[in-house]
Amino acid sequence: MHEGNRPELSLCLWGGVYRSPSDSPSAPPLPSPSRRESSVGQGQSESQRISTYRRVVKNVLDSETMYVECLNVTTQYMKVLNATIGTSRPVISQDDFNSIFFKIPELYKLHSDFLDGLRAATTNWDGYAPIGPRFKQLAENMGVYGAYLQNYQHALETVRRCSANSAEFAEITRCIKLRSLQGQTPSLEELLHKPVARVQQNAPVLHDLLKYLPPSHPDHRTMGLAHALTMTQSFISKYNVAASNQPRADRMQRHVVKNSFIVELVDNHRKLRHLFLFNDVIVCAKYKASGRGDKFTFEVKWLIPLAEIVCSCDDLPADPRADPAGNSSLVTLKSQASTVRDQIRAQERYYGLQGKRSDQKTEKQRKKLAELESQLVTASPNLPFRVCSRNGKQNALFFLSSDFDRTQWQEAIHVLQTNTPPSLQAQPVSFDEVQSWITTCRKDLQTNMGSYLMRTGRDESLLVGDLHIKVQQLSGLAEEADMFICFEIDSYGHFFRKAKTKPMRGIAPQWNEDFILELDGSHSLRILCYENCPRDGPVLRGRSRTELSRTWLTTSMQERTISLEGLSLTVSVKYASYEMTKRRPPAGKSNRLFGSKIQDVCRREDRSVPFIITSCLREVERRGTNETGVYRVSGSATDINRLKKLYETNIYEAEQLIKEVDIHSVTGLLKLYLRELPEALFTDGLYGMFFDAFSSPDLPLRRRRLLQLFSQLPQLNQSIIVYLIEHLIKVNKAEVFNKMSLHNLATVFGPTLLRPGPQADSAVQPDLLAAGTVDVMAQAGILYFFLQRRSNGEPIQVVVDGADS
């Protein structure tokens, strides 16, 4: 019965788990229920009847004791779950708690009082003391059962949904131990069904009591048992009438466990889909435009019954050719979107200066940008997620952007399959029935369609730029723990992990870590708080989602406290728009970059540091400072050459590709650019002087001369060198992870930033190896001097006139 949609009432008047007197091996057989009325008392003396009557009451006491224990255990689990609601890790919500345990305390008190009273009345009992008032009092409170039965199906649905969404809840409620039933471990669903079964057993036991009640018994005169039977039968009849007016369902009621928009690969093309995980089936549906109030409706494309679902997460698609939306097309789309976005801004600035409104050309560009952003929705995710049927008839490949989201899907399916009885999983599911169900229940589905798909023309434009975050402190832990924080930013509706803090142990961990998170068509920030557990690995302790809006984001750091389900994370944030960041590509056509004088490049780009340098350094700071051997390990020659070509032909596409390639390819590109400069940043003319100054054995003199020579460099060169040195200091601060000491960095960059000019090369020394070795040592040593000085907080751009600095 507990597997049905409603407790299957019509409630029967006979049966149940009370043992009839005929079940006792020493008792004479009882007539069938249909014959009891006419045969009662025939052939039985009053002593035999009172003996049978006492056995019925004994069975009532035994069964009631077991029932009260079930209610007691249910209330104990209820208290345990309720205690977690106000903590940092609630197992279930307050609403779900109220739905599951509705009227359980009242039922427990009602039957505890009844059991205590019946025990007291039958202690040292000869069978003649009245017990009818106890049963009458129980019957008078049948209204509690009415309320419970009305909520019963909702309670079951809530248990199943919570079990599917929370592995902890599923584990707690799967097997519950009872003292009176050694070896039996009913589930919470089975315990919740006990009152449903109990209400059907009241009438049979009252029949047994009345049929074997001797005429001389006091309960015959008081009519307590007869009144209790009348009230019980009346309650059952009323409930049966109410139940008959409800639509009958032969399967458990369907409800949504998890749903989201998703990208599916269909015939080598990415398609936007909506994936529904119901409690009995997984359904993939197509979005269809609706002319009604809803923006979308759904057309079912395929489905797999719960028992048949098999899911996996491959590192790569089985056939790489099956995914046409690889890095190249994604980079192209982002490049085109950046180009159109810049064109719109230029037009808006022009019309703003003219005091005019934007014209039709601008509106056309906005539509083009919207089309490109829609294509980015399907092209952006790249983490494969396969959903197949066991018989192999259905095999779907999806792409997600966040490993967190992918894991949530896997866990939801696993928990649902683990906690749903096989008989329910095996029920057939009709394609037409599911389509009809989704169409009918469309407004009640509460579909998660993502922030991007729900946007309208009136919404604030998506954010493009940088979000600076300083992670400060976590509070609210009850004891010391190893914690780390992950930050995910949405891009055109998909969340991507952008940063992760170092693990930190404490009761109030402090990180003081800085991150720059790239915003590209962004609307939301998702923060995930994990605890590193020795046995279970990372365990999610809290999460939060914050809407990013220009209404509260500013260009200055502002402190915010973010609630993480009982924990509190303090961060400081600021927003740098696309126009403000140094990563903005230079305007105008691309020209020859590699091998050009750096003065010409800066003049052409109208900036003090070439874009290729700022973009490479920014990318390293974004995702490479913790990479072991950063700047020392070589990158892919293919990727480096591809980037080199794009920086000279399509700066927008280069800007996108640099985010996709391996970080060692990014550092390789920077080193290549600096090597191919026709003149090193420390200049050909001053190289010999730097070399001589560094060779001086007089340390104070060496210091003064190096600073004097640095001040003689062109101002543009000084600015670029300082920019590079500041970056290398940031890289060195993560030495514990990347193993790059100041000496290592100086060894890598010294020969690139300082080198003899072509004229010096023509007058080579006879011992080329010795001369080259001396040069390399001096180049690394000179750069190390400036790196160490800046690392100690001392200036390197100083005016020195003979005094020791």
pLDDT tens per residue across span 708-732? 999 999 999 999 999 999 999 999 9
Question: For residue 376, is it within any domain?
Answer: no
- Report yes or no: 107 and 71 within 8 Å, Cβ to Cβ: yes
Q: Are residues 54 and 203 in the same domain?
A: yes
Checking phi first, is residue 127 left (phi over 0); if not, alpha (psi -120 to 50) or beta? left
User: Which of 244, 264, 292 is the last residue before a domain boundary?
Assistant: 244
Structurally, the chain folds into a number of domains equal to 4
- Mean pLDDT across 373-394: 87
Helix (H) and strand (E) counts for the chain? 28, 16
Is the separation of the CB atoms in 574 and 534 below 8 Å?
no
pLDDT digits (tens, 9 = 90+) for 69-123: 889 888 888 888 888 887 777 888 888 899 999 999 999 999 999 999 888 888 8
Q: Are residues 629 and 666 in the same domain?
A: yes
**Are both 552 and 607 inside the same structural domain?**
no
CB-based burial of residue 51 (10 Å sphere; 0-12 exposed, 13-18 middle, 19+ buried)?
A: middle
Q: What is the pLDDT of residues 21-61, one digit of tens each?
A: 434 333 333 333 333 343 444 446 777 788 888 888 888 88
- Sorted by sequence, the CB contacts under 8 Å of residue 444 that are 6+ apart come out as none
Q: Give SS3 for 257.
A: strand
Query: Do 230 and 294 share a domain, yes or no?
Result: no
Q: Pick the residue with more confidence: 184 or 690?
A: 690
Whether residue 469 is predicted with pLDDT greater than 60 in this model: the reply is yes
14 domain-assigned: no
> Which one has a higher pLDDT value, 463 or 397?
397
**Could you tell me the pLDDT band of residue 8, with boundaries at 50, 70 and 90?**
very low
Closest CA to 634 of 589, 669, 608, 607: 669
For 654-696, the pLDDT digits (tens) are 888 898 899 999 999 999 999 999 999 999 999 999 999 999 9
DSSP string, 512-523: EEEEEEEEEEE-
DSSP, collapsed to helix, strand or coil, labels residue 59 as: helix
The residues, any chain, with a CB within 8 Å of residue 201's CB and separated by 6 or more, are 15, 16, 17, 18, 63
Quick one: pLDDT at residue 805?
Answer: 41
Q: Are residues 606 and 681 located together in one domain of the fold? A: yes
Assess whether 198 and 296 both reside in one domain.
no
| Same-domain status, 204 and 143 | yes
Among the listed residues 258, 162, 167, 259, the one whose alpha carbon sits nearest the alpha carbon of residue 539: 167
From first CA to last CA, the distance across the chain in angstroms is 90
End-of-domain residue from the set 453, 482, 511: 453
Q: Kindly state whether residues 531 and 659 are assigned to the same domain.
A: no
- Quick one: 645 and 709 in the same domain? yes
Q: Is the dihedral of CA 555, 557, 561, 567 positive or negative?
A: positive
pLDDT of residue 764: 43
pLDDT, tens digit (0-9, with 9 covering 90-100), for 513-531? 888 888 887 888 999 999 9
Would residue 218 count as lying in a domain?
yes
**Assigned domain for 502 exists:** yes
Write out the two tokens for 241. Answer: 């009438």
Of the candidate ranges 507-521, 535-549, 639-653, 747-761, the one whose mean pLDDT is the lowest: 747-761
Same domain? 402 vs 440: yes
Region 290-300 average pLDDT:
69
Instruction: Give the span between the Cα atoms of 7 and 243, in whole angstroms.
Output: 9
pLDDT band at residue 450, thresholds of 50, 70 and 90?
Answer: low
pLDDT the model gives residue 678:
92
- The CATH number of whichever domain residue 407 belongs to comes to 2.30.29.30
Regarding whether 523 and 391 lie in a shared domain, the answer is no
Which residues make Cβ contacts (< 8 Å) with residue 394, sequence separation at least 6? 302, 304, 387, 388
Is 356 a domain residue?
Answer: no
Q: Judge whether 56 and 208 are in contact, CB under 8 Å.
A: yes
In a domain, 481, yes or no: yes
State yes or no: pLDDT of 511 exceeds 90.
yes
Q: Is residue 366 part of a domain?
A: no
Range with the poorest average pLDDT among 40-49, 186-195, 228-237, 774-783: 40-49
CA gap 665, 616 in Å, rounded = 10
Are residues 141 and 172 located together in one domain of the fold? yes
Considering 49-53, 87-91, 212-216, 467-471, the range whose residues carry the highest mean pLDDT is 467-471
Res 53: pLDDT: 83
Neighbours of 792 (CB within 10 A): 7
Residue 316 has pLDDT above 60, yes or no: no
* Long-range residue pairs from 792-795, CB within 8 A, at least 24 positions apart, any chain: none
pLDDT of res. 240: 61
Structure tokens at 683: 């200049």
Q: Is the pLDDT of residue 225 over 60?
A: yes
**pLDDT level of residue 616 (50, 70, 90 thresholds):** very high
Whether 17 has a pLDDT exceeding 50, the answer reads no
Per-residue model confidence (pLDDT) at position 36: 39
The answer on pLDDT for 569 being more than 70 is yes
Range of the domain at 284: 256-320+382-453
